[in-house]
Amino acid sequence: MTQTPRQLAFIALRSIHKGAFADGAVDQALHQSNLALLDRRLLTELVYGTVRRQRTLDALIDQFAKKKAAQQPPDLRLILHLGFYQLRYLSQVPASAAVNTTVDLAKQNGFVGLAGFVNGVLRHYLRASETSDPLLLPSDPLGRLGVLHSLPDWVVQVWSEQFGLEETDRLCAWMNQPPPIDLRINTLRATLDQVETAMNAAGIDVRRIPLLPQALRLPVGAGAIQTLPGYQDGWWMVQDSSAQLVGYLVDPQPGDTIVDACAAPGGKTMHLAELMQDEGIVWACDRAAARLKKLQQNVDRLGLHSVHLQTGDSRTLPQFVNTCDRVLIDAPCSGLGTLNRHADARWRQTPDSVQDLSQLQQDLLTAAATWVKPQGVMVYATCTLHPLENEAVMGRFLTDHPNWSIDRPPRSSPAAPFVTKAGWIKVLPHRHKMDGFFMVRLKRHDL
Ligand SMILES: C[S@@+](CC[C@H](N)C(=O)[O-])C[C@H]1O[C@@H](n2cnc3c(N)ncnc32)[C@H](O)[C@@H]1O
């Protein structure tokens, strides 16, 4: 069968439907094909976009086909998703091409007899969209946002309880936009000015980020990361601006002993080592050995010497008890603050998985607290916007540990302007234009 980007996208979608991760399925499709650059981009866009928008696309099938999406043969449902996705979201694909290629896809994949049906459904949608958006939305406000922005109702509910419907609408919309890519300058190897000058000389119009002294934002389409100026020399690494705030909140000092309890692939570990001038020890712990390998590659590229690796479960590392000046727990979480970065992430979490994560976070925090010396500091961070993983974990920890309290960073800290009345930082992507994050700095008070 000919390798068109649409056929390859369909195959990738089929494997995602069977449980594969979207990133892996796209990588595999690209690896096995010899498509030209534009077709590679189309394939990638089709797979990620279709996975991301599947709830909206199902709503269109429900509306325009006689049988509901859930009752369609699974492969035909994916083919219709691909067709609707192109018609609704890809302005660069002419409508006739979107319809014809989807009909071809149906014929090539066992639905010759339903080619007329596919054609009819898509053309029906096209006619209906001539005057206005034909998508019918549920009348209940949560379902309305869920279908419009293609998110599960439980996520919309969790957000609307925290931020209200209007802000949730904007937050949901953010999660369907291409994520920005930020760099954090390795100040042990280069200055912000130096990297900015090198990027500009290469025609890459980087932008500074207000309040963040080490951050530059890449323009859309800057090219492959490994080919950008300064990559090979370890001048910078990719790290979102909000993740950079975590390092400032820890505020490491030269000579400190620090444990980064959930460290891989190491964005924050490297930042801590840089902030302490690479003097002292940063233990990078993680239970995923393969991810620690990536961390080691980053350490080598940035030329750091103070980072030491420890593979294992951070709930059971007794060797660190009472040894640390600072501890960071960048906890495993549901990732609701970074849904725009992984097309399938919104469909992988459930209210039950959030409960499990909340318990794991609590256990990590309790174990890591024993590592901190009296008067020492511990920072807890997640890239989610779920109160069970943030405020609730914090509330329980503080109730169970009266010798700990929330500690504000010094005024001079780049993190200080972000601290809320409650004493923690909660980065909201649609307001701050960065990944959603929760972070709090805690201090141990007993002697
Ligand atoms: C949010 S990621 C960390 C990202 C990292 N701090 C960075 O900035 O690149 C969470 C990490 O926690 C690790 N992890 C999950 N459970 C763990 C446990 N019980 N002990 C140690 N690491 C764990 C995962 O393997 C994952 O690498």
The response to whether 265 counts as a known ligand-binding position is: yes
- Separation CA 23–CA 3 (nearest Å): 19
Which atom of ligand 1 has the smallest separation from the CA of 239? 8
pLDDT at position 223, please? 85
Per-residue pLDDT of 219-246, as tens digits, reads: 998 989 999 999 999 999 999 999 999 9
Residue of the CA atom closest to atom 19 of ligand 1: 313
What pLDDT band is residue 1 in, cutting at 50, 70 and 90? low
Closest CA to 159 of 333, 352, 337: 337
Q: Does the annotation list 267 as a binding residue?
A: yes
ipTM: 0.99
pLDDT, tens digit (0-9, with 9 covering 90-100), for 264-322: 999 999 999 999 999 999 999 999 999 999 999 999 999 999 999 999 999 999 999 99
- Residues having CB closer than 6 A to ligand 1 are 262-268, 285-288, 291, 313-315, 330, 332
Does the annotation flag 330 for ligand binding? Answer: yes
Cβ–Cβ under 8 Å, residues 47 and 14: no
3-class DSSP assignment, residue 21: coil
The burial of 28, by beta-carbon neighbours within 10 Å (0-12 exposed, 13-18 middle, 19 or more buried), is given as middle
Q: Does the pLDDT of residue 370 top 90, yes or no?
A: yes
**What is the chain's mean pLDDT, rounded?**
97
The two tokens of residue 296 are 């080691």
State the closest ligand 1 atom to the C-alpha of 263, by its place in the atom list counted from 1. Answer: 6
Tell me how far the alpha carbon of residue 286 lies from the centroid of ligand 1, in angstroms. Answer: 6
Residue 172 known to bind ligand? no
Q: Which residues pair with 184 in a beta bridge?
A: 215, 237
- SS3 annotation, 342-353: CCCHHHHCCHHH
Q: Tokens representing 305?
A: 């010497």
Ligand 1 center to 331 CA (angstroms): 6
> Which numbered atom of ligand 1 lies nearest the CA of 295?
9
What is the Cα–Cα distance from 268 to 282, expressed in whole angstroms? 11
Among the listed residues 33, 91, 73, 18, the one whose alpha carbon sits nearest the alpha carbon of residue 9:
33
Joined together, the tokens standing for residue 170 give 């904007």
> What is the residue with the minimal CA distance to atom 2 of ligand 1?
332
Tens digit of each residue's pLDDT (9 = 90 or more) over 89-122? 999 999 999 999 999 999 999 999 999 999 999 9
Residue 360 clears pLDDT 80, i.e. is over it: yes
Q: How far apart are CA 183 and CA 254, in angstroms?
A: 23
Q: Which of 172, 285, 333, 383 is catalytic?
A: 383
Ligand 1 mutation pick, 286, 291, 342, max ligand atoms within 8 A of CB: 286
As a whole number of angstroms, the distance between CA 111 and CA 105 comes to 8
Written as six digits, the tokens of 138 are 């549920």
Would you give the distance in Å from CA 124 to the centre of its chain?
36
Residue 259 vs residues 14, 85, 153, 281, 311: alpha-carbon distances, Å: 42, 45, 38, 8, 12
| Position 382 pLDDT exceeds 70 | yes
391 burial type by CB count under 10 A (0-12 exposed, 13-18 middle, 19+ buried): middle
> Distance from the CA of 332 to the center of ligand 1, in angstroms?
5
Q: How many residues does the chain have?
A: 447
Domains in the chain (CATH in brackets) are: 5-128 (1.10.940.10), 141-174 (no CATH), 182-238 (3.30.70.1170), 241-444 (3.40.50.150)
**Catalytic: 383?**
yes
The CA 330 to ligand 1 mean position distance, Å, reads 7
